[in-house]
Amino acid sequence: MKAPKQTPVVASPEIASPVISSPEAEIEKKRIREALDRINILVLQLQGMCAVTFGDCGQSFRDLNDEIQDCFMWALSDKVDDLRAVVERFTYPDMKVAA
């Protein structure tokens, strides 16, 4: 059975346009690519970090001392905050967002 064809998600109508040649459009495309790259990196890191906190792997995590668990969860929280900031800058580029 064939997988259903997926329609690509386009973050900005300018990207979908085949005729983009202005310097401003190129800057916008670069900004979008960089934001998507950063989002992808953060999601992969968060996925890896979360994977060791539950299920069979989670027992090893829960066996760590409280200070190490706290530092780990602090790092996890910081990554979530970073992801939120990138998404907000990407979604609302004209707003000032605390990083």
In a domain, 34, yes or no: no
Q: Is the dihedral of CA 39, 40, 41, 47 positive or negative?
A: positive
| Position 62 in a domain | yes
Residues 15-40 pLDDT 10s: 455 555 688 888 889 989 999 999 99
Q: Name the residue range of residue 56's domain.
A: 46-99
Task: Read off the pLDDT of residues 40-90 as tens digits, 9 standing for 90 and up.
Answer: 999 999 999 999 999 988 999 999 999 999 999 999 999 999 999 999 987
Flag whether 11 is in a domain. no
